[in-house]
Amino acid sequence: MKEKEEIRILYMDDDPGLGRLFQKKLSQMGEIVVAGNGQEGLSRYREEKYDVLVIDYQMPGLDGLQVLRKLVDGGSVPPVIMLTGAGNEETAVEAMKMGATDYIVKDIDGKYFQLLPLVMNEAIKRFRFAEEKKRMQKELERYANELERSNKELEQFAYVVSHDLKEPLHTIRGFAKFLEESYQDKLDEQGNEFMGYIIDGTSRMERLISGLLDYSRVTFKNSDPEPVNCNELVEQVIRDLKATIDLRNAKVTFDPLPTITGKERLLLRVFQNLIDNGLKYCRNELPKVHISAEEDGKMWRFSIKDNGIGINPKHAERIFFIFQRLHNRNEFSGDGLGLAICRKIIENHKGKIWVESNQGEGSTFYFTIPKGE
């Protein structure tokens, strides 16, 4: 709280002497309004705004707790300090449960008056801090909802666009193929060459559109997480890649891996893409990929390490975006979708994915997945 800030205090006590004393002793704190009973206190409260309320528990008519109940039922309340009698801890506990910020025991020699400014300032500080926190949380929630909404919209857009584009593209490719087959002799060499380009281009576009459709469909939605044994996933990937592994004289090894919670079908794709890339982006005579996992607080951190061509660190983020490639297709085949799909799957599982690498020194891809006990 800023120094010398004027605050407004509403004091409720049926003892007029104490009311006057309160006003006199604490006048330096700000403006003090005294109410002689609970009912009057409530009407004063409704008339104006206060920074803090000090309520005596023992009042005829409505007692302190009843006043507090009415205040709380009426909505958000400023900080309330309950004045209780000595040996009346139960009332104090009750008051705190109902939403009072603090309580102070009223002793006969009036020492509590000395404590009150400190307790009030502290209560106001705590209250403002809590209000600010609430405001920030709401703001954060708003941003998160907005982000989710725009992500969904984007997903929907990608789905619709890719779905609708497929149809006309099919027609173009079909007729181009027909022209190539039926009019081959009528076209000269250059005409046939151009026809080849059209067919290649449309096939590639079809692949990209299918990829985009695939990307927009990769989602966790409408499915419950299940236990996934990562050893089995990696074994399956190794079986699926056997032909490539044999052909490239490669080695894929792994440490004992944990069972995690997630969507098996999707996590399989992550291992598939990362292991496949490890073998693909390698000019080494003996490509090697090693998979391991370590505990990292509440997460499992997996690593997929290769001895391939490596990645310039300046591209470390870019490669996780859709259609981003660092290589020409003549050099290494691919459409730049694998890592974007991995990122989407891992983020859907509330994890993170990144790469650590230097050009020519191999790469290690990491991803985390919550342990999810």
Site residues (vs ligand ADP, CB under 6 A): 273, 277-278, 281, 306, 308-309, 311, 319, 324-327, 334-340, 363
Nearer to ligand ADP by C-beta: 125 or 204? Answer: 204
Q: DSSP assignment, residue 319? A: G
Question: Min. distance of Cβ 220 from ligand ADP in angstroms?
Answer: 20
Count CB neighbours of 83 within 10 A: 24
Nearer to ligand ADP by C-beta: 111 or 283? Answer: 283
Give φ, ψ of 172 to 5 degrees. Answer: -60, -50
CA distance 116 to 343: 56
Question: Min. distance of Cβ 281 from ligand ADP in angstroms?
Answer: 3
Nearest-CB residue for ligand ADP = 334
Nearer to ligand ADP by C-beta: 121 or 303? Answer: 303
CA distance 166 to 176: 15
Nearer to ligand ADP by C-beta: 254 or 281? Answer: 281
Question: Min. distance of Cβ 277 from ligand ADP in angstroms?
Answer: 3
Cα–Cα distances in angstroms (integers) from residue 371 to residues 170, 293, 302, 351, in the given order:
45, 12, 12, 10
The helix (H) or strand (E) run that includes residue 235 is helix 230-240
Nearer to ligand ADP by C-beta: 52 or 279? Answer: 279
Structure tokens at 104: 């102070």
Q: Which amino acid is at 270?
A: V
Question: Min. distance of Cβ 75 from ligand ADP in angstroms?
Answer: 53
Question: Min. distance of Cβ 267 from ligand ADP in angstroms?
Answer: 16
CA distance 211 to 206: 8
C-alpha 82, offset from chain centre: 40
CA distance 332 to 282: 10
Say if CB 40 and CB 67 are below 8 A apart. Answer: no
Question: Min. distance of Cβ 158 from ligand ADP in angstroms?
Answer: 16
Nearer to ligand ADP by C-beta: 251 or 327? Answer: 327
Nearer to ligand ADP by C-beta: 142 or 283? Answer: 283
Closest by alpha carbon to 203, among 167, 173, 175?
Answer: 173
Nearer to ligand ADP by C-beta: 204 or 327? Answer: 327
Cα–Cα distances in angstroms (integers) from residue 21 to residues 10, 17, 327, in the given order:
14, 6, 82
Question: Min. distance of Cβ 128 from ligand ADP in angstroms?
Answer: 49
Question: Min. distance of Cβ 333 from ligand ADP in angstroms?
Answer: 7
Question: Min. distance of Cβ 288 from ligand ADP in angstroms?
Answer: 12
CA distance 134 to 148: 21
Question: Min. distance of Cβ 271 from ligand ADP in angstroms?
Answer: 13
Q: DSSP assignment, residue 15? A: -
Q: Which amino acid is at 246?
A: D
Q: Is 106 helix (H, G, I), strand (E, B) or coil?
A: strand
Nearer to ligand ADP by C-beta: 38 or 278? Answer: 278
b/e for 159-176, b at 16 or more Cβ within 10 A?
eeebeebeeebeeebeeb
Structure tokens at 54: 């000090």
Nearer to ligand ADP by C-beta: 180 or 206? Answer: 206
